[in-house]
Structure 1
Amino acid sequence: MAQPFKGWVAHNSKSPLTYTTFTPKPWTESDVEIRITHCGICGTDIHTLRSGWGPTDYPCVVGHEIIGIATRIGQRTLNPEKIKVGDRVGVGAQSGSCLQADCEACADGQESYCARMTGTYNGRYLDSARSKSFGGFAETWRGPGHFVFLIPESLPSAQAAPLLCGGVTVFAPLRKYGVGPGKSVGVIGIGGLGHMGILFAKALGADRVVAISRSSGKKGDAVGGLGADGFIATGEKGWAKKNSRTLDVILCTVSAHDMPFAEYLRLLKRDGTFVQVGAPEDALPPLMAWSLIQKSVKVTGSNIGSPADIRDMLRVAAEKRVLPWVERRDMRDVNAALGDMHDGKARYRYVLENGPDQAKL
């Protein structure tokens, strides 16, 4: 029987998280155990806590932007970085997949698209007991070492945490669809994901990066702080016509079912690509076929990133000093931090920290 861990547990969709014990997956020699020091708050945490994407498997411990210290390493851990006890490591939104040779996704190094992938929380591992996965709003994490990553020395822990989900969620499609010199990129939504989208588009060398938001309220942050080259406020009259056919790639980070989808596509050049990474709880807006046909544009989506994507993303972040804008919060303040994030107060990510007296609660 697995020994219990301590963390902030959700028992239903209405009540605050409570600090109590939970039972992690049984230890195997393919696992790594981590003493958690930091964990970012992601929008997925809020969707999951309120069962927004479907019924959550309570009790649940969310948090999948985990940074900590490796304290135990299994003898059969599958990890190319040769992690050692004492290393500073991280875990993102995925902590399992089948890893079978006959799985097209896993064989191609695209584990995040495995049909049997396990999320870092609210999932089930592929062991005989179908053990539950629990996340990082806790003191300790345990899971397969294949999905654990060394954190570059130059990345502070608080800034590294959001990179492990939010960072790779924007990095992977930007790189996949050719963002770099000669490309113009639009990033819709200047929030937790979007501000990292701007940072990574600049780091990848895009000629022009345009921030897109409903109002001009975040223009100063986007252009003055994050380095965007332009700004489009969709609340202003004529914005779509004025900026028509100016962008090669659009990265949409918003989770709004009422977004002006057709107008966004109008911004694309011929053969341009619109990538949806925000995941609203409701359906996307309807779209007329001519929005696609008249310029041969592509509408696609992207789901987090593979372990290889995460390692590449961390390397670029370290080399180019891609540092998300974070506000550090004590892990004991988790319920207030979740409320503030739900209310849109984050500028632009909250990161929870385990203090030295956490275990005294």
Structure 2
Amino acid sequence: MASQQKFEGWVGLDKDSAEGKLVWQAYDPKTFEETDIDIEISHCGICGSDLHALRSGWGPTDYPIVVGHEIVGKAIRVGKNVDKKISVGDRVGVGAQSGSCLRNSCRECTHDYEQYCQNGQTTTYGGKWPSGEKAQGGYAKFWRGNGHFVFNIPEGLASEDAAPMLCGGVTTYSPLKMGGCGPGKRVGIIGIGGLGHFGLLWAKALGADKLVAISRGTSKKEDAKKLGADDFIATQEEGWETKNASSLDLIVSTVSGANIPIMKYLQLLDVGGRFIQVGAPEDPFPQFHPFALIAKRVSVEGSAIGSPKEIEEMLQLAADKKIKPWIQEMPMKDANKAIVQFEEGKPRYRYVLKN
């Protein structure tokens, strides 16, 4: 039962855990509060963030840590003060964020921008709850956290498909909506991986007039076409930025390498175009010249995950449009094998662990 004092899951004890050295053991969940929900986990997606955290890639990680923030399962305990219509037995999910200040005085929290709350946030793992207790994630049997960030999974959407949408999916859905993706828009998605494949699926579902997949080589060209791309740009080919200059209105970049050719990417934008970065590298981007922005009034922006409102909207769109991400299920017991293969770039295009 999730009401037990200890939970069990795959625990990272140090940087070596990123090399497939997670240890299955007991750990302390947060103390249950009446705003919390306990979830019996059925599925948890593997996200690139998990590897960054396990190896302390974005800064020192507070070990021990249980990663995983694409969680789907059954609500088995619902606090009486949960602010959503969730009942025991409901199929629910939680993504990368599990807490924000939720104050009536907070501009972000009262305008559906909880993911940008400046008064304190709790990430689903690797962070701290206001009590000071550690937040632990979904490579486990159970999860406990704030019900405001837990979502009903719509009927018709499989649990294994919903799980990777809760971080990877909304990370691309949010900037596409922010950028006005839809009829009349020419959209480019940089990187055909776990995030990028979602970007193509969403852009197609939102009705983009033209959808272009952008990758270094052509090995994923056929996949991109199957995911909805109308055209394909391979950046290993000479002169790609000149040939395709001023051809896009919106670019969403999912790549996390530090040495991306951002000046060339900006050439692809038409007047008033927007470049939105969602991939999070461990090192800084190269500098770019302000004239790249001035000459065509283009903007460079960033976007982080998505708000609860956007997640609910995205899940319903996926159910309505019967959107099917490209996933590979693996047993939760094989989590170590899965993260090693993930790091080697083997998934096409998301791994989902199943209890």
- TM-score between both structures, scaled by the size of structure 1: 0.96
| 1:122-201 matches, cutoff 5 A | 122-127=126-131, 130-201=132-203
User: What's the counterpart of residue 340 of structure 1?
Assistant: 341
**1:66-97 alpha-carbon deviations (Å, 9 max, x no partner):** 00000001111122xx1111110000000001
- Report the CA distance between 1:3 and its aligned residue: 0.6
User: What's the counterpart of residue 250 of structure 1?
Assistant: 251
Displacement over 6 Å in runs of 4+: none
d(CA) in 2 for partners of 1:64, 1:298: 30
User: What's the counterpart of residue 300 of structure 2?
Assistant: 299
- Report the CA distance between 1:216 and its aligned residue: 0.4
User: What's the counterpart of residue 279 of structure 2?
Assistant: 278
d(CA) in 1 for partners of 2:152, 2:111: 22
| 1:52-71 matches, cutoff 5 A | 52-71=57-76
- Give the partner amino acid of 1:8: W
- Report the CA distance between 1:187 and its aligned residue: 0.1
User: What's the counterpart of residue 117 of structure 1?
Assistant: 121
- Report the CA distance between 1:322 and its aligned residue: 1.7
d(CA) in 1 for partners of 2:112, 2:268: 33
Counting matched residue pairs gives 349
- Give the partner amino acid of 1:251: V
- Give the partner amino acid of 1:258: N
How big is the alpha-carbon RMSD for the aligned residues of Structure 1 and Structure 2? 1.0
User: What's the counterpart of residue 108 of structure 2?
Assistant: 105
d(CA) in 2 for partners of 1:331, 1:120: 18
d(CA) in 1 for partners of 2:186, 2:353: 35
User: What's the counterpart of residue 358 of structure 1?
Assistant: none
d(CA) in 2 for partners of 1:44, 1:97: 19
8 Å Cα contact 1:265-1:274 kept in structure 2:
yes
- Report the CA distance between 1:168 and its aligned residue: 0.7
- Report the CA distance between 1:345 and its aligned residue: 0.7
- Report the CA distance between 1:2 and its aligned residue: 7.2
SS in 1 for 2:323: coil
d(CA) in 2 for partners of 1:285, 1:184: 26
User: What's the counterpart of residue 14 of structure 2?
Assistant: 12
1:231 paired to 2:232 = yes
**1:292-335 alpha-carbon deviations (Å, 9 max, x no partner):** 11101000000001100100111111111222100000111111
User: What's the counterpart of residue 56 of structure 2?
Assistant: 51
d(CA) in 1 for partners of 2:121, 2:179: 24
- Report the CA distance between 1:256 and its aligned residue: 0.8
8 Å Cα contact 1:160-1:323 kept in structure 2:
no
- Report the CA distance between 1:288 and its aligned residue: 0.9
d(CA) in 1 for partners of 2:154, 2:4: 32
Deviates most, 104-113 or 237-246: 104-113
d(CA) in 2 for partners of 1:322, 1:165: 16
8 Å Cα contact 1:98-1:126 kept in structure 2:
no
User: What's the counterpart of residue 221 of structure 2?
Assistant: 219
- Report the CA distance between 1:289 and its aligned residue: 1.2
- Give the partner amino acid of 2:348: R
User: What's the counterpart of residue 331 of structure 1?
Assistant: 332
- Report the CA distance between 1:153 and its aligned residue: 1.2
d(CA) in 2 for partners of 1:221, 1:107: 40
d(CA) in 2 for partners of 1:92, 1:200: 18
Runs of 5+ in structure 1 lacking a partner? 355-361
**1:273-295 alpha-carbon deviations (Å, 9 max, x no partner):** 00000000000111011111110
d(CA) in 2 for partners of 1:229, 1:119: 36
User: What's the counterpart of residue 46 of structure 2?
Assistant: 41
d(CA) in 2 for partners of 1:289, 1:170: 26
User: What's the counterpart of residue 84 of structure 1?
Assistant: 87
8 Å Cα contact 1:2-1:23 kept in structure 2:
no
d(CA) in 1 for partners of 2:349, 2:211: 18
d(CA) in 1 for partners of 2:179, 2:216: 25
d(CA) in 1 for partners of 2:257, 2:33: 41
**1:15-43 alpha-carbon deviations (Å, 9 max, x no partner):** 31000001000001110000000000000
SS in 2 for 1:107: coil
- Give the partner amino acid of 1:124: K
d(CA) in 2 for partners of 1:219, 1:321: 23
1:31 paired to 2:32 = no
d(CA) in 2 for partners of 1:214, 1:260: 11
8 Å Cα contact 1:2-1:27 kept in structure 2:
no
8 Å Cα contact 1:2-1:24 kept in structure 2:
no
- TM-score between both structures, scaled by the size of structure 2: 0.97
User: What's the counterpart of residue 93 of structure 1?
Assistant: 96
